[in-house]
Amino acid sequence: MKPRIDQLLRFGREQGCSDIHLAVGQPPLLRVLGEISETRLHTISAVELSEMLNEMMDDAQRRSFEAGHDIDFSYSPGSGERYRFNLYRKMGGVGCAIRVVPRHIRSLDQLGLPPIVKKLATAHQGMLLVTGATGTGKSTTLAAIIDHLNSTRKLNIITLEDPVEFLHESKMSLVVQREIGTSVRGFEDGLRAALREDPDVILVGELRDAATVMMAMTAAETGHLVLASLHTTSAAKTLDRIIDVLPAEQKAQGITCLAQVLRGVVSQTLVMKPDRSGRKLIAEIMVMTPAIANLLTTGRAFQVSSVIQTSREMGMQLLDQALVEAVLAKEIDADQAYLHAQDKKLLQRFVTNTKLLPPVKVVGR
């Protein structure tokens, strides 16, 4: 007998949503094109939600959840569908956030990423970071990179994910996917084990702590290509986050290592198209150069954005530069671009909804 939640999952996918939210005392909510929308489905009771989720969890997950822990796991009802679940407790009862994983892995070209990303992804060693806020497509971009490598090179690719979202069939490469909590205890343990498994490429789902960051840089330093994600919204903030997380006694050594192994940073967001038919990926791109490496090692990482802005010939671009170009090409909505911009003055002249603009100061006589 199929779990009762399958029908709800199918409904959400048919509505084109990216996420489904379930909570006691209200109908299911869907996130469509980045915005939460209500449904006309019936209100979910505590008993109903508990029973639906219990049908999906194994004994270990139930014990952990009953002990007060949040639970992350993937679920596939069949037909190539996959979903990522996060179960948690809140005031009023249990809650659940469900990410709808696309059926097919889109290519880097289909995602609309600049050509430099494909070049960075084919490096034989080093570290490439894909960053952005939650829900900006980091997992989708990383899956596209893995699929590109899998389709074009003979490699041993090991992924460490929490949980596994996209499934990769080995093509030219051997792809080994390991899930945190079921296949391996944590990212740090998974990285340490991966170094003994003859890898060419290691994907780290998220750099969460200092130990994982240091281990990832070690893997990159010893001749592997390391792909990883971070919840940061620009290249400069990504560098700051990594530097900040390094232990004080290892900071100088860690910064030097970062300057040597980092190949690039792709910081992305999703912006609504003019006809609201979907969202377009807009990315800030940083490519590691001797100039940026020098800024890192001399404590001037705050100047990285200036180097990116003046290095377009190397494939670099600031997010604001990419937003302006997409607005001029009529690929994204100008008002939405303004909301995503870091330097909003660059986008002010394109705004159609004047309510978004700061009030004009009237200078008295």
Band of pLDDT at residue 49, cut at 50, 70 and 90: very high
Element (H, E) at 47: helix 46-54
pLDDT tens digits, one per residue of 283-320: 999 999 999 999 999 999 999 999 999 999 999 999 99
Q: Residue 185 CB: number of other CB atoms within 10 A? A: 11
User: Which among 201, 212, 207, 152 has a CA at the least distance from the CA of 177?
Assistant: 201
Task: Return the pLDDT at 304.
Answer: 97
* CA atoms 350, 355, 358, 361: torsion sign: positive
Inside any domain, residue 343? no
- Same domain? 47 vs 136: no
Residue 92 is predicted with a pLDDT of: 79
**Backbone Cα Rg of the chain:** 22
Q: How confident is the model at residue 56 (pLDDT cuts 50, 70, 90)?
A: confident
Are 64 and 167 part of one and the same domain?
no
Residue 137, pLDDT > 70, answer yes
Q: Does residue 365 register a pLDDT over 60?
A: no
Q: Which residue is associated with the tokens 């170094």?
A: 195
Q: Is residue 40 one of the residues assigned to a domain?
A: yes
* pLDDT for residue 17: 96
Q: Looking at the chain, how many residues does it have?
A: 365
The domain of 113 spans: 108-317
Whether residues 161 and 41 share a domain: the answer is no
Residues 204 and 221 in one domain: yes
| Average pLDDT value for residue range 316-331 | 97
**Shared-domain flag, residues 16 and 150:** no
Q: What is the pLDDT of residues 304-313, one digit of tens each?
A: 999 999 999 9
**Domain end (from 86, 101, 116):** 101
- Decide: 220 and 126 in contact? Cβ < 8 Å: yes
- CATH of residue 169's domain is 3.40.50.300
- Token pair recorded at residue 17: 């949503």
pLDDT-derived band at 91, boundaries 50, 70, 90: confident
pLDDT in tens, 96-130: 999 999 999 999 999 999 999 999 999 999 999 99
pLDDT, residue 221, reads 96
Q: Is residue 41 within 8 Å of 27, Cβ to Cβ? A: yes
Q: Could you give the C-alpha distances from 288 to 81, 172, 285, 317, in angstroms and in order?
A: 38, 29, 10, 13
pLDDT of residue 362: 64
Which of 172, 174, 209 is CA-nearest to residue 194?
174
Same domain, 89 and 119: no
| pTM for the model | 0.93
Q: Given a cut of 80, is residue 79 above it in pLDDT?
A: no
Q: Quick check: helix, strand or coil at residue 110?
A: helix
Rounded CA-CA distance 306/342 in Å is 14
Q: What is the pLDDT of residue 80?
A: 78
Q: Give the count of domains, the chain.
A: 2
Please check whether residues 232 and 191 belong to one and the same domain: yes
